[in-house]
Structure 1
Amino acid sequence: MAIQTGTIETRVPARMDRLPWSRFHWRVVVGLGTVWILDGLEVTMVGSVAARLTEPGSGINLTSGQIGIAAAIYVLGACLGALFFGQLTDMFGRKKLFMLTLLVYLVATVATAFAFSPWYFYLARFFTGAGIGGEYAAINSAIDELIPARVRGRVDLIINGSYWLGAAGGAAAAVFFLNQAIFPTWLGWRLAFAVGAVLGLGILLVRRHVPESPRWLFIHGMQDEAERIVNRIESEVSEEADERLAEPDQSITIRQRRRIPFRMIAETAFKLYPRRSVLGIALFTGQAFLYNGVTFNLGTLLSTFYGVASAIVPLFIVIYALSNFAGPVILGRLFDTVGRIPMIAGTYLGSAVLTIPLTLLFINGMLSRWTFLALLVAVFFLASAGASSAYLTVSEIFPMETRALAIAFFYAVGTAVGGITGPLLFGQLIGTNQRIYVAIAFLLGAGVMALGGIAELFLGVRAEQTSLENLAKPLTAQEAEEGEPPGEEQKQQGEAPQQGGQRLEATRRRAEAEQVRAQAAEHRAAVHELRSSGTAEQEQSEQALADAADLRAQELDERATAHDELARVEETDDERVMAIARACAQAAEHRATALAERSTALTAEEETESRYHLTLSEAAAERGRAQEQRALAEENRSAAGEAEETSTAVAQARADMHLAWAYRHEKLADLQVARAEQDDDAARRYEHEEAELQARALAADERVRSSEHRAAADDLYSDVHTTEQVEAQRAEIAEREQQDRETERLIRERIARRQERERHGLRRFRPGPGSILGSARLGGLDVRSPRTDIESEPDREIGMLVRALSEHGPTNRRELAQLVGARYWGPGKFGQALSIAVDEGDIRRLSRSMYGPAESSGEDTGESTDESSEE
């Protein structure tokens, strides 16, 4: 499996989260979730057979105190196994470890069946616990990474609650195997432990078909393998659902790492997420103390205080276990709908509250064996859902790279504080045969559970139906945002991180490329030499090496380009520029991978292997083209945000078009991978989907052309509009000039008519302005020009006359004066305006005192006379 590291953008998490529930998910649940059944089987088996192990003839002869010690050793092994295997799970992958830990469990539980002394029994129980603890780390992380986010809560709770199916099964098996009528005392309990090994073998067969977590693969530089696994899963789910899966709309950018240092993983929880760390410890400690304390000692508790025979104890444990399983099954859905915080806090606090009346009634001896069991069932109906949610919470709220170790760490700490002290304390206090001491243990357990509920109220995280990557961003995604850290090769050489490291790395890659080109030239020189003295086979070999070296040099150039683009990310604060640079860097990385695969194909010994790598090369090239299209889409989105309205539409259409082509190239890459893997069903499906995506991309091309044509039309219309505005302005100016000329003409005509009337009429002899009598000119005092203002300002009054007659029809002079408010015009203006309107044809005089609109059809009843004579 080729490992190529670099900054990549992937949609694997979104693709996994959008899948509908299918047989694949049931396979994950059965293959991985059954670890809890094994744990329940082991823990309950000890509780069920504890009384038998203390009986003479059992072949081991343990005391009650030694039973408690064995339980504590089992838990200690689980804690240490979780820490050890948890770190290996984050380093080497989920699948390798969940196969290894199951094998450890199988060997150890078989060894338990052959125990012959206390020390051997302790040792076998330690390694059985170590296998189970390792399972917790590997399994919970893998399940959360393979199950869709929308149902992750209920599925996790039911899987964790399946512990009690194992407990019920173990108790029921113990009833059968402890029946002395069927098996002797020394044999029955040994066969009971062997049942776990048989179940484990069946689980091992199922697990072979559970894939590695694609999320773990792409973070650790195995993007192609992650894509192949997701492609297979999608093909299976799509075929089962008989429908095409929707395209995911989210992606994440991460910086791939071959390995993540343990120091980085350990520091993450406490430096980046201190509140979540406190929450994890509180939840695990609370559930471990009460649960392990009661469960490990339930058999001896019933035997000591209620006289239940050892052969009957498993029946009580079956009822107890089934009620515990019912809690997560019934309440699990609410953790995804009502929410994590109210449900986790409610189950923790609710179980603590119910423990109080149980304790009080137990102290006073007011409970029979069945009423005691009924109250215990009520307490653990809630407590079981809360305990399961502790594993769910820790597996969700820490980054992907630390998930397994976080589960292991908090399980180990919580179990060390509560899971070991609980069984020891309960066991020792039950041994006193004093109810008051056992009641104190119950109240301590209730108090610790209450503290876990309070911690959830104040520190809880709303994780319902949310992607894991949104709850806690992967460390490698944070690295991608901040820029690439120094390469591993650089660290191995002892070089300290420094500013501008990307540019330096690019220079190193280009220097390596030149060295490789020198080697290519040497091989070509050898080709020329062999043409005269060597064989054709040697010549072909040297030519192949030369070609491979050339491809290697081109690969190094592309990786240098990727480092240059990542340097751009470091050197800018502009989010758009960073997105474009990351896409360009990823495109260069994919092109480098394509060249590496071509180089491998050239040097492959088998034709089949060569074709395989050539096909993978084409797949990587298609992914490179997809990233190039994404970079172009980002550039156009950036342009759309800065352009004018018309240009924005074109830029957005181009961005959509480039994104459509990116989807098509990604699907082509999936198709090539399917062909390389010879998965004909997946290849046919991808061909169909690629054809649809190509049609969409071509449609997007046409929409770009449509937007460009619209923009061109808008530009032309803008030019036309500008021309029209100029023409309209010119026409307006010409119209105003014409109106001015017409006004001047009217004024001249009015003045001329006025002067003509004054020469021939009697007005010049009347007192008033402008007459001979009373004229200031007679005294030589008037220096004004001849009066023309009354002639040049009647247009407003004429308009009022025209409107009044148009609205009211023929009207006599007196009514007309009232209609237009002539009394406010000033002396002589009404008569002057009336006379001018008649002269200019704006109104018609119908009789001596009647006037009508100019278009009136009435007959004139008299000749027009000088209006001035009718003052």
Structure 2
Amino acid sequence: METGTIETRVPSRLDRLPWSHFHWRVLIGLGTVWILDGLEVTIVGSVAARLTDPETQINLSAADIGIAAAFYVTGACLGALFFGQLTDRFGRKKLFIITLGVYVAATVATAFAFAPWYFFLARFFTGAGIGGEYAAINSAIDELMPARVRGRVDLVINGTYWLGAAIGAALAILFLNKAIFPADLGWRLAFGMGALLGFVILLVRRHVPESPRWLFIHGREDEAERIVRGIEDRVTEETGQPLGEPDDSITVRQRRTIPFRTIARTAFKVYPKRAVLGLALFIGQAFIYNGITFNLGTLFNNYYGVASGMVPVFVIAYAIGNFLGPVTLGRMFDTVGRKQMISISYLGSALLVVPLIWVFLAQFGGQWTFLGFVVATFFLASAGASAAYLTVSEIFPMETRALAIAFFYAVGTACGGIAGPLLFGQFIDSGDRTLVAIGFAIAAGVMALGGVAELVFGVRAEQNSLEDIAKPLTAEEAEEGGGERARPEGKPDEEGEEPGDELEAERGRRAEAERRADVAERAAERRQADADRARRALERAERRQARWRPGPGSLVGSWGLGVDPGHAAAADEALELEIEMIDHALREHGPTRRDALAEMVGARYWGPGRFGSALRAAVDEGRVRRFSRRVYGPAGDHQRARR
């Protein structure tokens, strides 16, 4: 494997792909790991009381349950750091197979626990597998997803943690029922279900390719080219449409390995503000989440008299609210923008804690009212917490991506994930509502700091290629010089080319002149259409700025919440194309049902949620007319809507 300086269009080729079965396979094969994490944490919380039952024959005390949680968190932190380094060094695919294998083996071992020390050890390695997954999976997903949908996909994937939490609570209700399963068997089966789900995911994951971005940087550009070409061929065959030409190329100086000191220097000396941002976001979300989630059952039991058997029902409602946050708000992280939505999520959830504290202190409305305010608060907080993983995955160079995720996850979890549960546990155990309210206020303050950090240091990453957000270290080295002469992809060496004869040259010149004349003729026809498109893009930018910013949003790092028109150009171009496709289909076919219209324009290849966004924009701009809830037509069509 030779290394040198190469020019490649792999990132641009991946970003311009339409949504396809390949992307669904990546989403399912890699994204479902968060279901496992939510499943693990919730099952342990739900079966904790059962594990202290003498009938389980494992002899755990209440203190041992806390120790087991500490082992899991410690394993997750160390596993993230250990496997994060290996992910950047040996590749995404090797590590996301290994880390899932570690999780499955450790979870099976947990199901066969017979003594406290064995249970602690199994929980440590389970956490190590999950922590390693955070680094390997987020980096792989972000490098394989098109830039235009990367935000919403990443948020939905991270939000599935709460889908796993809901499943874990439901499984606990089933497996802890002594009328169905013996006391010493039910909790073991609950862990066994997690291992079974992990094994199924492992089978799907085998078909997810290595990240082509990682491959070409590490001297394996031929393999990267083969993978991307294979993806393009499958997508073209699936959609029946040719792919557009990629926009940009990048030149990198390949490296087999990148020293850890280079990675550390990049994070803290080259990008110190981004490092502060990552720490603020992770500590804020880890503090509020670990503090409240781990103590949610005791909170409802001690202060609202909810029976232990009913606690999983409250956990399910809490988990569903957390899942809906990133799912419903995710698309706005790609359209409104990262900086705006992360700030709103963190600061909004902090503000919602104020009425939550009042409801708790005044004992207003009982446990269901309190649960409603908790769900509302964490509806926003969940979107922000998911965006924290997206942020650190995007804002550091590719060579450091996995380790950056691992580092900020580990530090955030170690600080907020340990301090939060300890503080809330002490306050709840005191029986004093005022102390618990103070705990809520502290959590809100820590979240608010994360929101302020996003306002000050936030990066406008929406719709942008990863390489534009943070240039790879190997690209910086290529610009500084050194290494071999650049070898553009698919372009032969000039020295090997033979000049044609004079006749062929004359024919070429004649053909070129005809081509230029044709281009000039068509340019006049397109000029007006381009002017209209630019006018509509400007109007969209102005509407966004008027709605979302109190100050000048074009200043990087400003306190404004507007969308920078320069950064929004790619989004406007893609949206304009989608609106034109909808407009053309309706003018050709007349009033049409929404589902039929989506099929006509091939909306399933646009990416999750994009058809709805384009259709709403078309209606808002007066280019499409809405006849009923499900029927749309061209703006000038006054025919009767067909049902």
Is 1:30 aligned with 2:51?
Answer: no
Alignment partner, residue 363 of structure 1: 361
Higher relative contact order (CA 8 A, sep 6+): 2
Q: Give the secondary-structure state (helix, strand or coil) at the position aligned to 2:56.
A: coil
Give the corresponding residue for 2:340.
342
Note the 1:36-115 alignment, pairs <5 A.
36-115=34-113
> Are 1:586 and 2:584 counterparts?
no
Q: Secondary structure at the residue paired with 1:162?
A: helix
User: Which residue does the alignment assign to 1:373?
Assistant: 371
Per the TM alignment, residue 316 of structure 1 is displaced from its structure 2 partner at its CA by 1.3
- Give the 5 Å matches for 1:419-568: 419-484=417-482, 562=484
Q: 1:628 to 1:438 in 2, by over 3 A?
A: farther
Q: Secondary structure at the match of 1:294?
A: helix
What residue in structure 1 maps to residue 573 of structure 2? none
| Matching residue of 2:566 | none
Could you tell me whether the CA contact under 8 Å between 1:50 and 1:299 is conserved in 2?
no
Q: Which stretch of the first structure deviates more once superposed, 105-114 or 462-471?
A: 105-114
Task: Give 3-state SS (helix, strand or coil) of 2:251's partner.
Answer: strand
* Alpha-carbon distance in 2 for matches of 1:698, 1:321: 71
- Partner of residue 297, structure 1: 295
Question: Residues 75 and 348 (structure 1 numbering): CA distance in 2 closer, same or farther, change over 3 Å?
Answer: same
> Which stretch shifts more, 339-348 or 298-307?
298-307
- 8 Å CA contact 1:76–1:420 kept in 2: the answer is no
Letter in 2 for 1:417: C
SS, match of residue 311 in structure 1: helix
- 1:61 is displaced (CA, Å) by 4.4
Amino acid at match of 2:200: G
TM-superposition CA deviations, 1:239-265 (whole Å, max 9, x none): 111111111121000000111111101
Name the CA distance, whole Å, in 2 between partners of 1:698 and 1:50. Answer: 84
CA distance, structure 1, for counterparts of residue 495 and residue 276 of structure 2: 41
| Contact kept? 1:78, 1:412, Cα under 8 Å | yes
1:119 deviates by: 2.4
Letter in 2 for 1:335: F
Give the letter aligned to residue 12 of structure 1: V
From 7, 11, 16, the equivalent of 1:13 is 11
Matches within 5 A, 1:659-808: 702-704=510-512
* One-letter amino acid of the structure 2 residue matched with residue 293 of structure 1: G
Tell me how far 1:699 sits from its aligned partner: 8.8
Q: 2:263 maps to which residue?
A: 265
* Counterpart selection for 1:225 from 219, 223, 226: 223
Q: Which residue of 2 aligns with 1:624?
A: 492
Cα separation, 1, equivalents of 2:176 and 2:78: 32
Of 698-707 and 452-461, the range deviating more from structure 2: 698-707
Match of 2:205 in 1: 207
Structure 1 window deviating more from structure 2 (293-302 vs 35-44): it is 293-302
Which of 1 and 2 has greater Rg? Answer: 1
Q: Name the residue aligned to 2:594.
A: none
In the TM superposition, residue 27 of structure 1 has moved relative to its aligned partner by 0.3
Structure 2: which amino acid aligns with 1:116? Answer: F
* Displacement after TM superposition at 1:180 (Å): 1.2
Checking the alignment, whether the CA contact within 8 Å between 1:51 and 1:300 is kept in structure 2 is no
**Post-superposition shift, 1:56?**
3.6
Displacement of 1:442: 1.5
RMSD over aligned Cα atoms:
2.4
Aligned equivalents of 2:515, 2:23: Cα separation in 1: 45
Contact 2:36 2:194 in 1 (8 A): yes
65 and 238 in structure 1: CA distance in 2 versus 1, 3 angstrom threshold:
same
1:174 aligns with 2:172: yes
Deviation at 1:401, TM superposition (A): 0.3
| Distance 1:67-1:434 versus aligned 2 partners, 3 A rule | farther
Q: Is 1:153 the counterpart of 2:151 in the alignment?
A: yes
Identity %: 70
Query: 1:439-474: CA deviations, max 9, x gaps?
Result: 222211111100000000010000010000000000
Q: Distance in 1 between matches of 2:338 and 2:247?
A: 26
- In structure 1, give the amino acid aligned to 2:158: N
Please report how far the alpha carbon of residue 423 of structure 1 lies from its aligned counterpart in structure 2 after TM superposition: 1.8
In structure 1, distance between residues paired with 2:217 and 2:439: 46
Q: In 1, Cα distance between the equivalents of 2:508 and 2:211?
A: 35
1:333 maps to which residue? Answer: 331
Change (3 A) 1:360 1:61: farther
How far does residue 189 in structure 1 lie from its aligned partner after superposition? Answer: 1.3
Residue identity in the other structure for 2:254: Q
Residues 198 and 626 of structure 1: CA distance in aligned 2, closer, same or farther (over 3 Å): farther
2:2 alignment counterpart: 4
1:107–1:355 CA distance, 2 compared to 1 (3 A): same
In structure 2, how many angstroms separate the alpha carbons of the residues matched to 1:626 and 1:234?
28
Deviation sequence 1:785-808 (CA, Å, 0-9, x none): xxxxxxxxxxxxxxxxxxxxxxxx
Change (3 A) 1:430 1:117: farther
Q: Deviations over 1:140-172 (max 9, x none)?
A: 000000000000000000000011110111111
Q: Secondary structure of 1:312's match?
A: helix
**CA-to-aligned-CA distance 1:726-746 (integer Å, 9 cap, x gap):** xxxxxxxxxxxxxxxxxxxxx
Distance 2:441 2:118 in 1: 35
Kindly state the Cα deviation for residue 295 of structure 1 after the two structures are TM-superposed.
1.3
Question: Among residues 183, 191, 194, which one is paired with 1:193 in the alignment?
Answer: 191
Distance 1:193 1:429 in 2: 30
Matched to 2:187, the amino acid is W
Mean Cα deviation higher: 412-421 or 397-406: 412-421
Residues 703 and 135 of structure 1, relative CA distance in 2, 3 Å threshold? same
Amino acid of the structure 2 residue aligned with 1:68: G
| Matches of 1:109 and 1:435, distance apart in 2 | 37
Query: Once the 2 structures are TM-superposed, how far is the Cα of residue 627 of structure 1 from its aligned partner?
Result: 10
Structure 2 residue identity aligned to 1:101:
T
Bigger drift between 429-438 and 78-87 goes to: 429-438
Change (3 A) 1:245 1:428: same
| Cα distance in structure 2, aligned partners of 1:708 and 1:57 | 86
* Residue in structure 2 matched with residue 239 of structure 1 by the alignment: 237
Matched, 1:274 2:272: yes
Q: Is this contact kept in 2: 1:177–1:192, CA < 8 A? A: yes
What is the distance in 1 between the residues matched to 2:474 and 2:268? 18
Separation in 2 of the partners of 1:257 and 1:237? 31
- Check whether the contact 1:395–1:403 (CA below 8 A) recurs between aligned residues: yes
1:717 matched residue in structure 2: none
Q: Give the distance between the partners of 2:220 and 2:495, measured in 1 at CA.
A: 18
Q: Is the 1:44–1:167 Cα contact (8 Å) retained in structure 2?
A: yes
Q: Secondary structure at the match of 1:131?
A: helix
Confirm or deny: 8 A CA contact 2:251 2:486 kept in the other structure: no
Calculate the TM-score normalised by the size of structure 2.
Answer: 0.77
User: Distance between the aligned counterparts of 1:698 and 1:145, measured in 2?
Assistant: 46
Distance across 2 between alignment mates of 1:195 and 1:363: 40
CA–CA distance in 2 between the matches of 1:698 and 1:295? 76
One-letter amino acid of the counterpart of residue 211, structure 1:
P
Q: 1:698/1:104 Cα in 2 relative to 1: closer, same or farther (>3 Å)?
A: farther
Q: What SS does structure 2 have at the residue aligned with 1:464?
A: coil
Change over 3 Å in CA distance of 1:708–1:113 after alignment to 2? closer
Change (3 A) 1:427 1:702: farther
Q: Deviations over 1:493-516 (max 9, x none)?
A: xxxxxxxxx7xxxxxxxxxxxxxx
